[in-house]
Amino acid sequence: MYELHRLLREYDRARAHTDALWKDLTADEVTWRPNENSSAIGWHLGHQAHVAHFMIRNLTAAEPSPDPELDGLMDSANPERFRGALPTVRRLTTFRDTVAGRVGAPDQMTIVGGHLLTALINHEYQHDQWISEVRADGLGHALPPDPSADGLSRVDGYLVLTPYA
């Protein structure tokens, strides 16, 4: 099992990979949807932060959402056809950065954080795969190289961190 500080570095690495997939895109590209049954890159960015908030910040420290208005939109239970009215890229970036800040319950994080962070890292990479597909196939942009780390590999096409490797 990974130590918590190492998992925090891995989470930062996963977020950096996500940033490499979208930070060079225009706002129109971030909000572009291939069709009404597909999610824009921007939705995936907000969803990653939404899940991170509820898996870490809310679960371990009972912290309220940093942007409650985004909660319903970024919930994956919201059907794809209703994911079109995205906030600005600036608001998404602020949401992501706020959620990624360190949690206010560090002792509890030490106990439960390993499992939660591993799931969160893998969730980040899961959505990175879908962002990659929109970026490359839909928008015609080259993909950055995969990040490299001990225990990080591709399984079924997705980057996955395996803490027991």
Task: Give the helix/strand (H/E) hosting 7.
Answer: helix 4-22
Q: What is the pLDDT of residues 89-134, one digit of tens each?
A: 999 999 999 998 866 666 776 777 788 889 999 999 999 999 999 9
**Residue that the structure tokens 């027991």 belong to:** 164
Q: What is the Cα–Cα distance from 34 to 56, expressed in whole angstroms? A: 31
pLDDT of residue 2: 58
Q: What is the pLDDT of residues 14-70, one digit of tens each?
A: 999 999 999 999 999 999 999 989 999 999 999 999 999 988 877 777 889 999 999
pLDDT of residue 149: 92
pLDDT of residue 33: 93
**Residue that the structure tokens 């009215």 belong to:** 85
pLDDT of residue 164: 67
Q: Among 46, 35, 42, which residue's Cα sits nearest to residue 138? A: 35
Interior/surface letters 96-110, b for 16+ CB within 10 angstroms, e for the rest: beebbeebebeeebe
